Amino acid sequence: MENGENEEKEKLILENKVKLKINALNVLENRYLKKDENCNVIESPEDLFYRVAENIAQADKIYDKHVNIGALIRKFYLSMSSLDFLPNSPTLMNAGRQLQQLSACFVLPIDDSMDSIFETLKNTALIHKSGGGTGFSFSRLRPKKDTVKTTSGVSSGPISFMQVFNAATEAIKQGGTRRGANMGILRVDHPDILDFIVCKDKNDSLNNFNISVAITKEFMSALENNGDYNLYNPRNSMVTGKLSAREVFDKIVYQAWKNGEPGIIFIDRINDYNPILKMDSIESTNPCGEQPLVPYESCNLGSVNLGNFVKDGDVNWRKLEETVKIATHFLDNVIDMNNYPVQKIQDVTCSNRKVGLGVMGWADMLFCLGIPYGSQNSIILAEKLMSFIQSKSHSASEKLAVERGAFPNFKQSIYVNGTPIRNATTTTIAPTGTIGIIASASGGIEPIFGLVYKRAHCLDDKEMYEINSHFEKLAKEKGFYSIELMDEIANEGSIHKCKGISDEIKRIFVTSHDISPEDHVRMQAAFQKFTDNAVSKTVNFNNSATKEDVRKVYVLSYEMGCKGVTVYRDGSRDKQVLNLVNKKEKKNKDVIPRTRPKKTTGSTFLMRTGCGKMYVTVNGDNIGACEVFTQLGKSGGCTSSQAEAVGRLISLSLRSGVDQQEIIDQLKGIRCPSPTIFDGGVILSCADAIAKALEAYNNERTIQTLSASEPKNSKNKERLYTSNPTDNLLGACPQCPECGEMLSFLESCATCHNCGYSKCF
């Protein structure tokens, strides 16, 4: 940098210092600011914003060699240093540095071949290393147990390869600053959809993936009509079977209620709004779901901080318009300055030039305007605001098209009969996690989680405590601020029960759990109406929410035009990013089992155990399974009494609200000295048999498996349990009753290679 330019930089920085809170400084120092070889910070926040502004401004020289770069650097710097606008994290981290990878969002294809799968895995590693997140659809992969002609073997299915991608992601630290994130999507009409829905049933499964089910119009039509829909083998597009849409939907709802996943995306609706008509269809989104992309496409995002655009009790529309124009220009420049990790990604990205300008600080703006989140006035303002941003960003993109040309695929796009535009899309609503902390802004379009809360797991499990600045300022102005009150708010999670606060203030300062799920969806739909891409939004539920509550939200989101939806029931995961401070522990209450219903329906399963035939009866009502009975050989005897005891304890647990899958997980796999092979599989013990009967019952409840002559609501019917032989032959090694070593199975016999014990079945 020449002396004159250096002086100009120093003057600009001196006159425009960045005002940051301690949490923002912590985040910048940990993730964004340059460090020397000893990990000492060698860059100030002002230096960071100038570095980014200077680097991104250079793209203008591609189109105008005589451009006044200094003036443009100043515009970009002032927008960022004032925290009016911030680009996505990779741009802040990498612009003007050696890596120079600036995009956050990528989608990669996975075709049904080993070459494609592992080529994509390689590209994923390059993207994660450079600071990006990846989205995949696994829907092209043939289902498990499908034929593989080249090897005369069978396919292991999409989920097995998701586990491979998950393990690879775990091994890669993104640019030394970010852990990789993935989106895994499977179409609802894929034959393995039932396994996919529960693939994150346990909180430690696929922990580098968010998962979503791609819902089709065919499925939604079947759901509306309470009918079946087709499953298609992606290898040959042949129909392989049918499932009840209602029962599959129930399973999605249950898992989302249980731990927040899977989310759903309405894949046909997304493609209906695909701006490029003649390209590949959109199959997936980025990890947070807000950016649908075609294969090999990337997108760079940025957000306007709405809390900075309130003046004299109204939106400062003039300032907002100017910032939107600058931000659109900035994001278009990022495309040219980006160092893409894969050449094909550069080719596809530059052919469409998608950018995604969104917002953060929406809840802050509502606080400043005195408008309750979720009220009709807030919905009206949301539509007006996002319509304004979309319109002004389109205008800015059209102006850039005059100066630089329309995006190369313009003639294949929905815009072909209109004014040329520089970017196929210009707007996206992202979650703005860390850049929201830098800007001290509420995240995206979300309501605030709590007026006093702790933010956990953002920086290597460190916790950061915050009080909402708008509320804190008002409390001090009105004279009701006190440490005791802040403690009370932290404990309650809301101000609605706090004394000494006016009803008007309580009406305005609502938190995520004060807002009805329906109003969460209405807000998302309001922003989606004027967003080119999609909207990242979580519908928050209290812990007491029911599965029916989740179902209503999923249906409502489809009816209101959303492109997808994610739900989260408070406390349904072991870890969550936002937690209330010192939240009151619930008093331990005696768990009282619910009364056995007068009428139950169920199934009786015949299980062959090493102790003889066991009949396991599982009954349930409209809530779920509620009792288990076992009968083992003749009545009496120690083994029979123990089996009866297990059944009684399971029944008690089920009626006390213990999750059925937890019971299965505890019992399944318990071994005894007398395992037995049954229908090609292994029953390891009586406890294992009961668990597998429960599992079979659970599958029956979820999916229609009975023929028309055997209606579901008929009296109990005996079922023959069929085990999956591959599940049991891999690792199901019972112990030798003589010496305790593991038995191996050879030609239908269990043999001990240590002492010679053998038992054939």
What is the arithmetic mean of pLDDT over 23-42? 92
pLDDT at 554: 97
Measured between alpha carbons, how far is residue 222 from residues 219, 241, 255, 262, 551 in Å?
Answer: 5, 14, 20, 20, 16
Distance CA 582, CA 484 (A): 13
Lowest mean pLDDT, pick from 22-36, 330-344, 424-438, 619-633? 619-633
**What integer best gives the mean pLDDT of the chain?**
86
pLDDT of residue 82: 97
> CA gyration radius for the chain?
29
Distance CA 350, CA 423 (A): 9
Q: What is the pLDDT of residue 147?
A: 83
Task: Supply the pLDDT for residue 256.
Answer: 95
731-734 CB contacts, 8 Å cutoff, 24+ apart: 732/669, 732/675, 732/682, 732/684, 734/671, 734/672, 734/673, 734/675, 734/682, 734/684
For residue 532 the two structure tokens come to 């080119």
What's the pLDDT score for residue 361? 97
In this predicted structure, which of 8-22, 122-136, 603-617, 666-680 has the lowest mean pLDDT? Answer: 666-680
280-293 tens-digit pLDDT: 899 999 999 999 99
Instruction: Give the closest residue to 112 by CA, choosing from 236, 265, 248, 298.
Output: 236
Spatial separation of the C-alpha atoms in residues 761 and 759, rounded to whole Å: 7
Residue 401 identity (one-letter amino acid) = A
- 358: pLDDT confidence band, cut at 50, 70 and 90? very high
All domains of the chain in start order, with CATH: 105-285 (3.20.70.20), 445-580 (no CATH), 601-724 (no CATH), 731-761 (no CATH)
What gap in Å lies between CA 190 and CA 143, rounded to an integer?
Answer: 8
- The answer, yes or no, to whether residue 745 has pLDDT greater than 90, is no
Residue scoring higher pLDDT (202 or 89): 89
- Which pair of structure tokens corresponds to residue 377? 């006035």
Average pLDDT over residues 113-119: 95
For a pLDDT cut of 70, what percent of the chain falls above it? 85
- Residue in the block written with tokens 């079977």: 241
Q: Which pTM does this prediction carry?
A: 0.76
pLDDT over 80 (residue 179): no
Rounded CA separation 186/157 (Å): 11
Q: What is the mean pLDDT of residues 233-252?
A: 96
How high is the pLDDT of residue 575?
55
3-state SS class at 441: coil
Q: So what's the pLDDT on residue 728?
A: 35
Q: Which amino acid is at 540?
A: N
| pLDDT over threshold 50, residue 721 | no
Q: Which residues are catalytic?
A: 286, 288, 290
Please give the pLDDT value at position 456.
55
Share of the chain above pLDDT 90, in %: 62
Identity of the amino acid at 647: G
Is-contact 323 84, C-beta < 8 A?
A: yes
For residues 79-88, one letter each, b for 16 or more C-beta atoms within 10 angstroms of the residue's C-beta and e for the rest, the string is bbbbbbbbbb
Say yes or no to pLDDT of 499 above 90: no
